[in-house]
Structure 1
Amino acid sequence: MGNLSNRLGILSFVNFGVLVLFSSRNNVLLWVTDWQYSTFILLHHWVGRLAILEAILHSLIFLRDWIVTNKLAKDQNLPYWWWGCIGTITAFLLLPLSIPVVRLNRYELFLATHIVLSILIFLGSWYHIYFKYMHQSGYETWLYIVFAIWGFDRLVRLLRLLRHGICTATITVIDKDYIRLDIKATVATGHVYLYFLNSRFWESHPFSVASTIIQNTKSESMGSDTPPEGLQTESLNNKMEPTVTSQPAEVAEPGMVFYMRTLNGATKALRARCHIQLLVEGSYGHHEDLSEYPTLICIAGGVGITACLPYLRAHCGSRYLYWGTRSQALATSMQPLTHLYEMEIAVGRRLDLASILEGQGGDFAVVVSGPASMVDETRQIVSMLARRKRVKLVVESFSW
């Protein structure tokens, strides 16, 4: 039983390193593979559960063994025992505080407790080994690996932050749910992490870069629920037609444009401000090469459209955009970025995904970004279609 418990403890330490690696923004496996960051976050969740289960079993088996052999009364007062208890208990607490309802609805609480408890786990594990073996066993090597991965990730994050310095962003309220944020003279691609310096500057939030050109057009009407002349909102049953182009831009300059849905927390506080200072960490992410597919279908929900725009810009074949949004004002605001593509906009309605995808002929690629229900339905339909035709699915999402 002692051997079994020790093996479980070692496996838990090994998984700690994998756990930290998979959650790192600068995960070297992201550079080696073409996997999405959301894939590694999913693996991070399951490796974490395994590591915690192994730690709990390690402690329970030794506890049972110590009770049977009458060692508990002596060892429970020793430092190694208490630090082991601290590591195991904090690992157990990490599970209920990381469930989806907490991550999605109380992200700031999740982030703070996740960091604090993780530090206690690694600290408890370190002192547990130190006081038990005094560096004679080599078990601490696995913790060296954890600290090295964590330190490398933080160092690269700092370098990415210093690259852009302190930036000033202009905030435009679109409607009661969405805002637009423009950062001039700073360019990044893919997605970036923003640190808002007005409050909780230590927190970072990921956002897709909608455009690297800031445009102010005559046809823009921020906050209006009435589409400007030329903007077509197609019904689901109508034949797709390309939207009419907007008026030429008055101003076009390099920078970054973000569209955000304001929820509780940091994004909600932005609605009351016109300008804000922030830090930009990026660029992150990569876009798969879909040039071998003659047709590209992009399916977006809400501000998920910002993750689809780079694929639309890069593709040289036929490009179609299907966008479901609750806000006409958002569709109006984004017209300068979407008017070049054949598109169908469903405002306040669900897209008929089965009709859209099953009606496509030949080989095609599908990029989807939006609510989980939309992504799941798209994945199910594409999986069925892949049995009889060549089709590629790319999911763009941020997971926690």
Structure 2
Amino acid sequence: MAHELIAYIATTGAILHSILFLSTDTKVNEHSCKSEFPYWYWGIVAALAMYLLIPTSGLWIRQTLYEFFLGWHIAFSAFTLGYETWIYVAIAVWGFNRITRLLRALRNGIKMACIIPIDDRYVKVESSDAEFVKPGGHAYLYFPTLTWRIWESHPFFRYLDGSTRTSSTIDIEKSKPTGSASPISDSTSGANKPHRVIGHSPQHKAPYTSPPITFYIRKKSGLTASLAFHCTLPVLIESTYGICTPIPPSSTLLCIAGGVGITAHQPLLAAHPGPKKLFWGARSEALVRAVQPVLGLADGEIEVALGRRLDLRVLLEEELGDGSKYGYGRGGERASRHGG
């Protein structure tokens, strides 16, 4: 979001800069003279590159033509910085960043990842000997044998499975019910058409030498789509970024997640000792079966809307209201829980 906002601000500045300088130089009859200098026509190239970056960076383009988007995004960004010294500096900084990131991944060594299909949308990726991936942060995963673009990586949140096991994981298709059940609702209120999701015990065995770390990944049309066709893959892990900030124990934690986005919330929920509530909208019952048993939440702390979107306005009005449900006054201050 910050990247996008900065891009809009910079592009707006470039438009104003072009208009003002063109108007000023035209009035003093200097346009024909200045337009012959390299800084002028390279400035035109830079401005045009900025204008093109905005419409060619839309969500639809990024999702359907990501590789092409990445290429022209880098090229246009380089042209935006101008010519000669400026572009050389930009290339040097960008190259240093890419090389440093790759060296950081190589320093951690090549790990073996176990790929476990959850359903036709999601896969579970487990890797041992990767304790350097800190809880609450995200890591970039490289699968060099899946594509000739060995530099390609994608960010994923580490999922804390809460387990001390060293040689097992969960196979959704082959596991049997343990007998425990937790309710799932197909609405945000939890009152309509309750579903029952049965917990599963580990059945699939993997030769881990240490407790594995877990990533849940939604398959899309690119590299991630081919993950399900493999049982094991070598993986490079670049980590850790974006460690979450602890929330004060006295605060009430209200999390709203969608689909595999639960992986970003789970470390916060696991670390928070105070009151908490999770609302989770999911389309995949298999994903819920895989994740919910290890969330460690009581029945009153989680509500799942299966197969439909969460109505955020209704949800927040019901949960927060005037703040009395979670011990807050109308002014936003925490109300006292002591009698008298």
Superposition TM-score, scaled by structure 1 size = 0.65
When residues 248 and 326 of structure 1 are mapped into structure 2, their CA distance, relative to the original with a 3 A threshold, is: closer
Structure 1 unmatched runs, 5+: 1-41, 131-139, 365-384, 392-400
What is the rounded CA distance, in whole Å, between the counterparts of 1:289 and 1:69 in structure 2? 60
- CA deviations on 1:270-295 (whole Å, 9 max, x unpaired) are 22222222321110112222233254
What is the rounded CA distance, in whole Å, between the counterparts of 1:233 and 1:344 in structure 2? 8
- CA deviations on 1:324-352 (whole Å, 9 max, x unpaired) are 21111111222442255443333224446
Q: CA deviation at 1:64?
A: 4.0
Partner residue in 2 for 1:79: 38
Structure 2 unmatched runs, 5+: 336-340
What is the rounded CA distance, in whole Å, between the counterparts of 1:327 and 1:214 in structure 2? 26
- CA deviations on 1:122-148 (whole Å, 9 max, x unpaired) are 2xx233xx6xxxxxxxxx6x996x678
Residue pair 2:138, 2:158 contacting (<8 A) in 1 also:
yes
What is the rounded CA distance, in whole Å, between the counterparts of 1:268 and 1:316 in structure 2? 37
Q: CA deviation at 1:300?
A: 2.1
Q: Which amino acid aligns with 1:211?
A: L
Structure 1 residue corresponding to 2:11, chosen from 35, 38, 52: 52
When residues 147 and 202 of structure 1 are mapped into structure 2, their CA distance, relative to the original with a 3 A threshold, is: closer
Partner residue in 2 for 1:175: 119
Residue pair 2:159, 2:216 contacting (<8 A) in 1 also:
yes
Partner residue in 1 for 2:183: 233
Partner residue in 1 for 2:154: 205
Partner residue in 1 for 2:75: 116
Alignment of 1:213-292 (within 5 A): 220-223=170-173, 229-235=179-185, 236-237=190-191, 247=201, 253-292=210-249
Q: Give the structure with the larger helix fraction.
A: 1
Residue-pair matches, total: 313
Partner residue in 2 for 1:368: none
Structure 1 residue corresponding to 2:303, chosen from 320, 328, 344: 344
Partner residue in 2 for 1:193: 140
Residue pair 1:294, 1:317 contacting (<8 A) in 2 also:
yes
Q: Which amino acid aligns with 1:275?
A: T
What is the rounded CA distance, in whole Å, between the counterparts of 1:93 and 1:169 in structure 2? 39
When residues 321 and 78 of structure 1 are mapped into structure 2, their CA distance, relative to the original with a 3 A threshold, is: closer
What is the rounded CA distance, in whole Å, between the counterparts of 2:198 and 2:330 in structure 1? 34
Partner residue in 1 for 2:62: 103
Partner residue in 2 for 1:361: 325
Q: CA deviation at 1:46?
A: 2.3
Residue pair 1:174, 1:224 contacting (<8 A) in 2 also:
no
Alignment of 1:80-159 (within 5 A): 80-122=39-81, 125-127=82-84, 150=94, 153-154=97-98, 156-159=100-103
Specify the SS of the correspondent of 2:288.
Answer: helix
Residue pair 1:320, 1:341 contacting (<8 A) in 2 also:
no
- CA deviations on 1:370-389 (whole Å, 9 max, x unpaired) are xxxxxxxxxxxxxxx87445
Partner residue in 2 for 1:333: 290
Tell me the percent identity.
Answer: 36
Partner residue in 2 for 1:165: 109
What is the rounded CA distance, in whole Å, between the counterparts of 2:62 and 2:261 in structure 1? 19
When residues 329 and 214 of structure 1 are mapped into structure 2, their CA distance, relative to the original with a 3 A threshold, is: farther
Q: Which amino acid aligns with 1:262?
A: K
Specify the SS of the correspondent of 1:179.
Answer: strand
Residue pair 1:185, 1:254 contacting (<8 A) in 2 also:
yes
Residue pair 2:164, 2:211 contacting (<8 A) in 1 also:
yes
What is the rounded CA distance, in whole Å, between the counterparts of 1:256 and 1:306 in structure 2? 12
Q: CA deviation at 1:203?
A: 2.4
What is the rounded CA distance, in whole Å, between the counterparts of 1:319 and 1:290 in structure 2? 11
Residue pair 1:171, 1:275 contacting (<8 A) in 2 also:
yes
RMSD: 3.9
Q: CA deviation at 1:260?
A: 1.1
Residue pair 1:327, 1:347 contacting (<8 A) in 2 also:
yes
Superposition TM-score, scaled by structure 2 size = 0.75
Q: CA deviation at 1:267?
A: 1.3
Q: CA deviation at 1:215?
A: 5.2
Partner residue in 1 for 2:338: none
When residues 62 and 344 of structure 1 are mapped into structure 2, their CA distance, relative to the original with a 3 A threshold, is: closer
- CA deviations on 1:4-51 (whole Å, 9 max, x unpaired) are xxxxxxxxxxxxxxxxxxxxxxxxxxxxxxxxxxxxxx2332222222
Q: Which amino acid aligns with 1:201?
A: I
What is the rounded CA distance, in whole Å, between the counterparts of 1:223 and 1:113 in structure 2? 42
When residues 218 and 149 of structure 1 are mapped into structure 2, their CA distance, relative to the original with a 3 A threshold, is: closer
When residues 220 and 84 of structure 1 are mapped into structure 2, their CA distance, relative to the original with a 3 A threshold, is: closer
Q: CA deviation at 1:207?
A: 0.6
Structure 2 residue corresponding to 1:322, chosen from 279, 284, 294: 279
What is the rounded CA distance, in whole Å, between the counterparts of 1:324 and 1:214 in structure 2? 28
